Amino acid sequence: MDHCIFCQIINRKQPAKIVHEDELAVAIEDIHPQAPVHLLVMPRKHLPSLTEAEASDEPLLGHLFAVSAQLARERQLTTKGYRTVVNNGPWAGQTVSHLHVHVLG
Ligand code: 5GP
Ligand code: ZN
């Protein structure tokens, strides 16, 4: 998706602080952090939101949460706790139409 800011970041056409990359997912630091740690874990594949995910995307959805937990462990968030948040659609406050998990700690 040419006009998608997260696709541009994934394809290195826009800068971002990338904190994790693998064949399925990329994680970045949020540009406007709402907590001391605020990461965004996103699929390389452009999925506008959870709503568009299909049955074949189930392993990918699981992977996004596995990466979220891995990043939380790396940043020592697991003892005190952290939030994983997915906003879907405008009334939920979704502003970037490329599925992403917020990791807030
Ligand atoms: P949403 O509101 O869609 O759930 O979350 C979008 C998040 O993406 C927001 O927290 C916002 O600060 C972040 N964001 C938007 N544009 C950029 C960008 O260009 N770079 C980075 N690193 N984060 C962004
Ligand atoms: Zn995208």
Per-residue pLDDT, 104: 98
Mean pLDDT per segment of 10 residues, for the chain of length 105 residues?
94 97 98 98 98 98 98 97 98 98 98
Q: Residue 13 is encoded by which pair of tokens?
A: 């056409």
How many A from CA of 39 to the centre of ligand 1? Answer: 10
Per-residue pLDDT, 1: 80
Q: What angle do CA 43, 48, 78 make, to 5 degrees?
A: 45
Which residues have C-beta atoms less than 6 Å from ligand 1?
5, 16, 28-32, 40, 87, 93-96
**C-alpha 58: how far from chain center:** 15
| Number of the ligand closest to the Cα of 46 | 2
CA quadruple 50, 4, 83, 69: dihedral sign: positive
CA quadruple 27, 38, 77, 18: dihedral sign: positive
The protein residue with its alpha carbon nearest to ligand 1, atom 12, reads 32
Compute CA distances 33 → 22, 36, 81, 91, whole Å. Answer: 23, 7, 17, 21
Does the pTM surpass 0.95? The reply is yes
